[in-house]
Amino acid sequence: MDDEMNSLLKNKTWELVKRPKGQKLIECKWIFKIKEGEGGNDSVRYKARLVAKGFTQKEGVDYTEIFSPVVKYTTIRCILALVVQFKWELDQLDVKTAILYGDLDEKIYMRQPVGFVNGNPENVVCLLKKSLYGLKQAPRQLYKTFDTFVLKHGFQRSNYDVCLYYKGDGGKNSLYLVLYVDDMLLASCNKTEIDDIKCMLKSEFDMKDLGQAKKILDMQILRDRNKDMLFLYRHDYIVKLLKRFNMFEWKPVTLPLSNHFKLSSDFCPKTDEDYDRMSKVPYANVIGSIMYLMVCTRPDLAHSISILSRFMGNPSEEHWNALKWLLRYLRGTLNLGLVFKFDKRGIMLKGFTDSDFAGNRDKRKSTSAYFFTLCDTAISWKSQLLKIVALSSTEAEYIAASDAVKEGIWLSKLLNELGFVDENAILYSDNQSVIHLSKNPMFHDRTKHIDIKYHFIRDVISKGIMKIGKIPTQVNPCDMGTKIIPLNKFLNCLKLLSIDAM
């Protein structure tokens, strides 16, 4: 607590003033935590943090805007692919007591913290000058402070991800900074330039230099420079997840879902007794935990999570059994992650799209999916239920391709802005009719009812922004994002996306 107070006072977080008459006060409280060292091997560290009770703030009085951007996971994976491709250095920094660096725009009065009271606590209060943990606007104010500082020192902000900064004209000789609240990655071919940026940042912020990046946002990074490889995985997170839900000792399985699960809303509880029994099952907690894993490093979970999350509001015993099956799959794939490798062909952005037809048992909607790879490693993926009912497989896959093109355009523009022009960006589909339809207004009688917004893919293809090509179904990794497939084909999809064990 003394250490925390010293940090707060050193940073001039507040000043003690006489309480204005009738002024509402924000309460605060102490939060205590025991933090283990890296890998749990180092001695434990006792941490105390003073937190404002932001839930008592009123909009328009104590805060206005609270949105704070964070870097996209796709952007992080793009940078990691470039790091391996160009043999860059990759270092990590952490801002100590980061939130305290944000300047407040509003006048906020807070009660003095327990154990550190000067004078009468009813008359002498804290007038906050800097952000404090717990305040609704605190992350936004930190971002504004950091953004202003780095732009002043020669960095440029990306137009396609505002938490990605670069210094230089772009390309492999520039320096890149990735920001996620208080975690930073620095990537550059020049180690001296990285050290100079670290000194520049330390002049303004109290930074912790973590050296070569080994972990970012709970994603573990293992780099083998001799093999020009980088492995991104979440072994420790999966172990904690399985132990938390008492599934670590269960027998592993080889597929995320099996064909014997016929999931639909027909199984949902219909009696009070069934509903009460299922309400005690942590279904939503498990879904949320696995979804976080899927978003970070596991594209192979996208389809199963897309299906199982549809029943979070009222899951049945059958849905719960399917979710436990998915946990058993995780038990057998603890070390699975994304493998970034050097590609002799250079920077190549490729997309894959697919859709099933009326696979949803409840509303007969189709499930669409896309996967994008950079240098043959998955960097972006999505599996979702279409918003409309498709009347044919061509229509379902055409709509899926339109959604994929939007992601492809964003990725192309992001890479182009960073100086990596890829004229070979291509989207692959295994449906020949979709390819013809995206290039020409063919099959008019069968497609005249399709919403005009899905036809923008024709404009994109005609302008050469992206290309579209045919790929055999056997080598389309999107199959695992739209349906349950046999083991041999599933393993081939993992290989096509560079998903492998450590």
pLDDT, average across residues 428-453? 74
452 vs 135: which has the higher pLDDT? 135
pLDDT digits (tens, 9 = 90+) for 140-190: 999 999 999 999 999 999 999 999 999 987 778 899 999 998 899 999 999
Angle at 300 between CA 296 and CA 302, to 5 degrees: 70
421 pLDDT exceeds 80? no
Q: Does domain 344-501 have CATH number 3.30.420.10?
A: yes
pLDDT at 308: 95
Residue 354: the pLDDT is 92
DSSP bridge partners of 17: 125
Residue indicated by tokens 């943990």: 133
In order, the DSSP letters of 381-426 are EEEEE-SS--SSHHHHHHHHHHHHHHHHHHHHHHHHHTT---TT-E
Going from N- to C-terminal start, the domains of the chain cover: 2-217, 235-332, 344-501
Q: pTM of the predicted model, to two decimals?
A: 0.90
pLDDT at residue 42 is higher than 90: no
Burial 302-319 (b: 16+ CB within 10 A, else e): bbbbbbbbbbeebbbebb
**372 vs 466, more confident:** 372
At residue 422 the predicted structure's pLDDT band, cuts being 50, 70 and 90, is low
Q: Which helix (H) or strand (E) holds 286?
A: helix 283-297
pLDDT of amino acid 456: 77
Residue with tokens 């904690």: 240
Q: Looking at the predicted structure, is the pLDDT value of residue 449 above 70? A: no
> For residue 62, what pLDDT band results from cuts at 50, 70 and 90?
confident
* Cα–Cα distance for residue pair 62/64, rounded to 1 Å: 7
